[in-house]
C-alpha cells in the first residue's frame, strides 16, 4: 500500500516510521510512505502556506493552492482515497482501518495545521477522519495513528495473523486479560484456568472475560455487541 502524507512537518514522521513493526513493514516494502511538504509548492519568495481567514477571526488558515499543487503532483493509483485529518471527521475505529486496508491501494493523507484548511480543499477530499473529540496542534499525530493502524493489518506485518483476530474491537469486544511468567508475583497469581492446559476451558474463560470487561469498561460497545449478529453467550460456545 502507498501512503502520501501532505504535511508541513515531514520530520515529525522520521522516527516513528523507522521504529518497531511499522519500520520493519516499510523495509519489507509491505507499505511505502511518501512525505510531501506543501511549502515546496508555494510560488512566493517567502514560501507562505497560511493566510488570514475572510471575515476575520482568530488564527490563520492553510492556503489551498499549495495543498492542491501537492496532491496533484502525486501519482494516482486505481483505488485511491484522499483523507483530510480533521476533528470534524469520522472517528478512527477498527472497522474503518479494516476498510482502508482492504479497499484501497493508495491513501493520500492531508494534515491540517494552524486553525485548519481553506474549506475548498474539500473538493480534493474523499473522506474526513478524526482521532477523537479533541483538538491537537495539527493532523500529524492522527495521521501517524491511521498509518500505524492500517499497516499492521496488511499481510506480512504481524507474524501471527491469528493474533489480529483475537484483539480488542475485532469481534466487537475488548481483549481478555493476559499473563506471563512468573505465575505468582507478590501474591498476585495467574488464574488457575490458564495453567490447566485445557484449551477449551481457557477459550471459554477468555470469552467470558471479554464480555465482562466490555460490559464494565465500555457499556457502549457492549450494547452494540449485544445487538450484533456475532453476539453469543459463553455457555453456547
The percentage of residues in the chain with a pLDDT greater than 70, rounded to a whole number, is 94
At residue 24, the pLDDT reads: 96
At residue 81, the pLDDT reads: 98
Residue 141, SS3?
A: helix
In a shared domain, residues 120 and 19: yes
Chain Cα centroid distance, residue 15: 17
Residues 5, 13 contacting (CB under 8 angstroms): yes
At residue 231, the pLDDT reads: 78
Query: 21: part of which helix (H) or strand (E)?
Result: helix 20-27
Q: Does residue 66 lie in a domain region?
A: yes
The three grid cell numbers given for residue 48, joined into one nine-digit string: 507562505
The confidence band for 126, taking pLDDT boundaries of 50, 70 and 90, is very high
The confidence band for 159, taking pLDDT boundaries of 50, 70 and 90, is confident
Beta partners for 189? 184
Q: Does residue 191 lie in a domain region?
A: yes
Residue 146, SS3?
A: helix
The confidence band for 213, taking pLDDT boundaries of 50, 70 and 90, is very high
Q: Does residue 216 lie in a domain region?
A: yes
Considering 120, 151, 182, which residue would you say is the last residue of a domain?
151
Rounded to whole angstroms, what are the CA distances from 48 to 58, 61, 113? Answer: 18, 11, 13
Q: How many CA within 13 A on the CB side of residue 219?
A: 1
How many domains does the chain contain in total?
2
Flag whether pLDDT at 74 surpasses 60.
yes
Query: 9: part of which helix (H) or strand (E)?
Result: none
In a shared domain, residues 170 and 147: no
The confidence band for 204, taking pLDDT boundaries of 50, 70 and 90, is very high
Phi, then psi, of 111 in degrees rounded to 5: -95, 115
At residue 172, the pLDDT reads: 86
Amino acid at each position: 500500500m502507498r501512503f502520501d502524507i501532505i504535511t508541513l512537518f515531514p520530520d515529525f514522521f522520521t522516527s516513528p516510521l523507522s521504529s518497531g513493526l511499522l519500520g520493519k513493514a516499510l523495509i519489507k516494502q509491505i507499505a511505502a510512505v511518501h512525505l510531501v511538504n506543501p511549502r515546496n509548492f508555494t510560488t512566493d519568495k517567502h514560501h507562505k502556506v497560511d493566510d488570514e481567514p475572510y471575515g476575520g477571526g482568530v488564527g490563520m488558515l492553510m492556503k489551498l493552492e499549495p495543498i492542491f499543487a501537492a496532491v496533484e503532483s502525486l501519482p494516482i493509483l486505481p483505488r485511491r482515497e484522499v483523507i483530510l485529518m480533521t476533528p470534524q471527521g469520522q472517528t478512527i475505529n477498527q472497522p474503518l482501518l479494516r476498510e482502508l486496508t482492504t479497499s484501497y491501494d493508495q491513501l493520500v493523507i492531508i494534515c491540517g495545521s494552524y486553525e485548519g484548511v481553506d474549506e475548498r480543499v474539500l473538493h480534493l477530499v474523499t473522506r474526513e477522519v478524526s482521532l477523537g473529540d479533541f483538538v491537537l496542534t495539527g493532523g500529524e499525530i492522527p495521521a501517524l495513528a491511521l498509518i500505524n493502524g492500517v499497516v499492521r493489518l496488511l499481510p506480512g506485518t504481524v507474524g501471527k495473523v491469528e493474533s489480529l483476530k483475537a484483539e480488542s474491537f475485532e469481534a466487537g469486544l475488548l481483549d481478555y486479560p493476559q499473563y506471563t511468567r512468573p505465575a505468582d508475583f507478590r501474591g498476585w497469581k495467574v488464574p488457575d484456568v490458564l495453567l490447566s492446559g485445557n484449551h477449551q476451558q481457557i477459550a471459554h474463560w477468555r470469552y467470558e472475560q471479554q464480555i465482562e470487561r466490555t460490559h464494565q469498561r465500555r457499556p457502549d460497545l457492549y450494547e452494540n455487541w449485544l445487538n450484533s449478529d456475532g453476539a453469543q453467550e459463553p455457555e453456547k460456545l
